[in-house]
């Protein structure tokens, strides 16, 4: 069926804004917005429940542009439907300090739900949104009142489907039956290098059928077909839906549509003149006729939709006041008022027990104590729950009960982490995800994205060093801790015993300005005796664990399992203090006076010891100091033999201190 002329004219507003903004910036991707304009017209004007005057309305539908290079599509939609994104903002596309950067960035423009730069992570975030919606709905909805009830719409392209993460997350979405996830695949057959058939010949329909999705195929420029497909997608509540939309990239450009020329470069002034003529668009650049604006404006409709939900929620609050207050608390991101006090009481209990156990076990104990206080925690592991020790007695898998609090992610480290980002972005949950520290490498880019977006995601990593032993160098992390510590906005904790492990969990759960990585040992670690002041100082990321005997001559800095080595060396030395540094990032946030008290600048004799890459520690010990750690990959052997082989021993620490104080 042919799209009516007036509807095509409405969609053409996206096309002209996209090509004009890209041309003005002399950089960008006009092809995807021009090719997907008809899809966007149907989804945003007819199906999306959102309120431009309140972009953070809790029950709004979520929209994710996974092919984020086509960002002018989303910016045009936000502008046209009435969000606080002006035509001047569109003219500033890709310019410094604008609301319209090259890819959608969380926090820059209202209505942007997530940062979608790396291809594939947008659809992963969308799975996280849909998972959060389903779980939150199961936890709060009542038979008579549905207060969590929205869809997640995701646009994606060939690049997203070529990225391996799309397999991980779409497979899991099908298994979990995320029926309120609707994906629109821009099947235009073009990527940067040209026609994709030479490198992407997958049968996408059969692929998604195998995942357990509903698959629909339409002409992406036929509004009636798109409308019918979307209705069918919304009607299928047991399966996610992908709508394969056959489109023409750069539609409207006489010489560049259907070609890679329109993918990632401006059309050019002459071609834009021809495109305007082909589209029948007579207005000049960045001018949208009033009748087109009126057709797009969603402010009144959005306000009415939200008002209707507010009435439903008021009825819910009247009938179920406890649940309503809890939902509001969780969506606001606030913790229960008594959580910090209870967490501190737990830390005191842990200190009194003085247990010598692996910090991965200490982590599980902390989960057992703290998670019952926080029903918003949604845990998970990449098929390693029994090794990561991330299950606790109250954990219940969402695959068995949609109202559960634990996700068995399977062997999907990258997908798991990006899904968790979506869960955090949705609101109502604090997700934690777990794997071996070595396999953080699979998830690295999603860890970066949680840090870039400053989301409260907790990344749990166990088997933290050569101390894991016989599995050998493929499983023994060396450079990973340094990589995490070098990530802006990320706090990385490597606790040395049960007390520091409990403190690290408290820090991660209460930290609202970014993610946290918690790094735990496989092997048992000796309990360290502390005063109450030292417990309080441990939360500052670095503190004096053992005061010097006599005049201070040298400082030993250690983390994790190597704190015990430092303490053994301390017993053999005079004039030495031991500084435990479980979280260097948190330590560096402390005021200068505290940092100076812990690491006096006049004491240049410093030794750092950590069973990880040595390079990180030079900034703490200086060029005159010594670092005992790893500068090669590991070996397969019992842990004790490995520490001896690589020279990470008490004897080595003692020798290093004596050498620099001689």
On whether 119 is known to bind a ligand per the annotation, the reply is yes
CA distances in angstroms from 499 to 221, 387, 586, 610, 659, listed in the order given? 60, 21, 17, 19, 32
On whether 84 is known to bind a ligand per the annotation, the reply is no
Give the residue among 380, 442, 440 at the shortest CA–CA distance from 408.
Answer: 380
Catalytic-role residue among 413, 500, 585, 610: 413
CA-to-CA distance for 411 and 169, rounded, in angstroms? 11
Q: What share of the chain is helix, strand, coil (3-state, %, to 5)?
A: 45, 15, 40
Max Cα-Cα span within the chain: 89
Between strands 190-191 and 194-195, the pairing is antiparallel
On whether 522 is known to bind a ligand per the annotation, the reply is yes
CA-to-CA distance for 520 and 497, rounded, in angstroms? 9
Give 144's strand partners: none
Give 435's strand partners: 461
On whether 595 is known to bind a ligand per the annotation, the reply is no
Q: How far apart are the first and last CA of the chain?
A: 88
Contacts (Cβ under 8 Å, ≥6 apart) of 163: 118, 119, 120
CA-to-CA distance for 565 and 610, rounded, in angstroms? 10
On whether 387 is known to bind a ligand per the annotation, the reply is yes
On whether 29 is known to bind a ligand per the annotation, the reply is yes
| Tokens linked to 213 | 């999705």
CA-to-CA distance for 213 and 564, rounded, in angstroms? 52
Between strands 458-462 and 516-519, the pairing is parallel
Give the residue among 109, 96, 94, 115 at the shortest CA–CA distance from 28.
Answer: 94
For residue 99, how many other CB atoms are within 10 A of its CB? 22
| Tokens linked to 126 | 């969308």
| Tokens linked to 339 | 């959580």
On whether 463 is known to bind a ligand per the annotation, the reply is yes
CA-to-CA distance for 310 and 657, rounded, in angstroms? 66
On whether 97 is known to bind a ligand per the annotation, the reply is no
Active site residue 413: yes
On whether 360 is known to bind a ligand per the annotation, the reply is yes
The answer to whether the CB of 406 falls within 8 A of the CB of 460 is: no
On whether 601 is known to bind a ligand per the annotation, the reply is no
Handedness of CA 348, 342, 561, 547 (dihedral sign): negative
| Tokens linked to 620 | 């703490």
The answer to whether the CB of 31 falls within 8 A of the CB of 25 is: no
Give 186's strand partners: 157, 245
Catalytic center residues? 413
Question: Could you tell me which residues are annotated as the binding site for Mg(2+)?
Answer: 158, 188, 190
Question: Could you tell me which residues are annotated as the binding site for thiamine diphosphate?
Answer: 69, 117-119, 159, 188, 263, 439
Question: Could you tell me which residues are annotated as the binding site?
Answer: 29, 69, 117-119, 158-159, 188, 190, 263, 360, 387, 439, 463, 471, 475, 522
């Amino acid at each position: 069926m042919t799209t009516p002329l007036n509807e095509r004219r409405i969609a053409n507003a996206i096309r002209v804004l996209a090509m004009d903004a890209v041309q003005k910036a002399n950089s960008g991707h006009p092809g995807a917005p021009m090719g997907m304009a008809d899809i966007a017209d149907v989804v945003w004007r007819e199906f999306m429940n959102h309120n431009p005057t309140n972009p953070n309305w809790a029950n709004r539908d979520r929209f994710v542009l996974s092919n984020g290079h086509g960002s002018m599509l989303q910016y045009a939609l936000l502008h046209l439907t009435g969000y606080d994104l002006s035509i001047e903002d569109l003219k500033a596309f890709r310019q410094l300090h604008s609301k319209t950067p090259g890819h959608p960035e969380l926090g820059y423009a209202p209505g942007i739900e997530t940062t979608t730069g790396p291809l594939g992570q947008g659809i992963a975030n969308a799975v996280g949104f849909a998972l959060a919606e389903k779980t939150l709905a199961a936890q709060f909805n009542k038979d008579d009142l549905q207060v969590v009830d929205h869809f997640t719409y995701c646009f994606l392209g060939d690049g997203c489907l070529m990225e391996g993460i799309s397999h991980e997350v779409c497979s899991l979405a099908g298994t979990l039956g995320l029926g309120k996830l609707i994906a629109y695949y821009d099947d235009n057959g073009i990527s940067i290098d040209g026609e994709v058939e030479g490198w992407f010949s997958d049968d996408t329909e059969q692929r998604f059928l195998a995942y357990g999705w509903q698959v629909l195929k339409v002409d992406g420029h036929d509004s009636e077909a798109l409308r019918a497909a979307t209705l069918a997608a919304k009607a299928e509540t047991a399966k996610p839906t992908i709508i394969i939309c056959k489109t023409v990239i750069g539609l409207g450009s006489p010489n560049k549509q259907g070609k890679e020329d329109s993918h990632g470069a401006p059309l050019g002034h002459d071609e834009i003149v021809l495109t305007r003529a082909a589209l029948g668009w007579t207005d000049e650049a960045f001018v949208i006729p009033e009748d087109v604006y009126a057709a797009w404006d969603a402010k009144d409709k959005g306000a009415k939709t939200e008002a209707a939900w507010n009435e439903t929620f008021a009825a819910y609050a009247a009938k179920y006041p406890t649940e309503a207050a809890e939902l509001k608390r969780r969506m606001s991101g606030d913790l229960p008022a008594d959580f910090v006090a209870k967490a501190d009481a737990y830390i005191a209990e842990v200190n009194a027990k003085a247990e010598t156990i692996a910090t991965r076990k200490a982590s599980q104990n902390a989960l057992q104590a703290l998670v019952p206080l926080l029903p918003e925690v949604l845990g998970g592991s990449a098929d390693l729950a029994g090794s990561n020790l991330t299950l606790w007695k109250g954990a219940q898998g969402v695959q068995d009960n949609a109202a559960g609090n634990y996700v068995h992610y399977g062997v999907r480290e990258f997908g798991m982490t990006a899904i968790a980002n979506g869960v955090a972005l949705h609101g109502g949950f604090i997700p934690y995800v777990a794997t071996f520290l070595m396999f953080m490498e699979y998830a690295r880019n999603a860890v970066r994205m949680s840090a870039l977006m400053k989301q409260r995601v907790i990344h749990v990593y166990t088997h933290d060093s050569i101390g894991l032993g016989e599995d050998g160098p493929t499983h023994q992390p060396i450079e990973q801790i340094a990589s995490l510590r070098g990530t802006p906005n990320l706090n990385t904790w490597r606790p040395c015993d049960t007390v520091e492990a409990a403190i690290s969990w408290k820090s991660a759960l209460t930290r609202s300005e970014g993610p946290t990585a918690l790094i735990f040992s496989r092997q048992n670690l000796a309990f360290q005796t502390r005063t109450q002041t030292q417990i309080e100082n441990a939360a500052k990321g670095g503190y004096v664990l053992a005061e010097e005997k006599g005049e201070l001559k040298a400082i030993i800095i250690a983390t994790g399992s190597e704190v015990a080595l430092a303490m053994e060396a301390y017993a053999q030395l005079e004039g030495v203090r031991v500084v435990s540094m479980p979280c260097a990032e948190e330590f560096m946030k402390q005021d200068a006076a505290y940092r100076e008290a812990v690491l006096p600048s006049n004491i240049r004799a410093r030794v750092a010891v950590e069973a990880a890459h040595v390079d990180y520690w030079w900034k703490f010990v200086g060029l005159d100091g010594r670092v005992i750690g790893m500068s090669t990959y590991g070996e397969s052997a019992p842990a004790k033999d490995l520490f001896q082989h690589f020279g990470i021993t008490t004897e080595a620490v003692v020798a290093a201190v004596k050498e620099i104080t001689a």
